[in-house]
Amino acid sequence: MKQMVLATAMTLMAGAALAQTVIVSPEERTQIRQYVVKQKVTAVPADVSLSVGTVVPETVELHTIEGVPSATKYRYVSVGGRTALVDPGTRKVVEIID
């Protein structure tokens, strides 16, 4: 019984982890890059680290993405030519778009 409960719990946790995976197609990556380039947003300090899993500081403004359905629930920040998709609820970087 304990093994069954443990196996079920592990399956649920794995499913939750997969649900948070961001899948952005190559076409959508291009659309996001083009969208970001056209926007006039405040520069993010160069000392802000952009890697998947890092938390973007509260002092950094997150910007909306329009026109890319798979990315509308996320926000973005750009630093040094790199764009990060950010979960606005946790402020964690979920995807890097170079």
| CA distance linking residue 80 with residue 74, whole number of Å | 20
Does the structure show a pLDDT above 60 at 62? yes
Residues spanned by the domain of 29: 23-97
The residue among 56, 65, 45, 59 whose CA lies nearest residue 91 is 56
Q: What digits encode the pLDDT tens for the residues 74-94? A: 999 988 778 999 999 999 999
Query: Is 11 inside any structural domain?
Result: no
The answer as to whether 82 is a domain residue is: yes
* Number of compact structural domains in the chain: 1
Task: Select the more confidently predicted residue: 41 or 55.
Answer: 55
Please tell me the pTM assigned to this model: 0.72
Look-up: residue for tokens 């160069």?
Answer: 46
pLDDT of 6 reads 37
pLDDT at site 40: 82
Residue 6 within any structural domain of the chain:
no
CB–CB of 56/62 below 8 Å?
yes
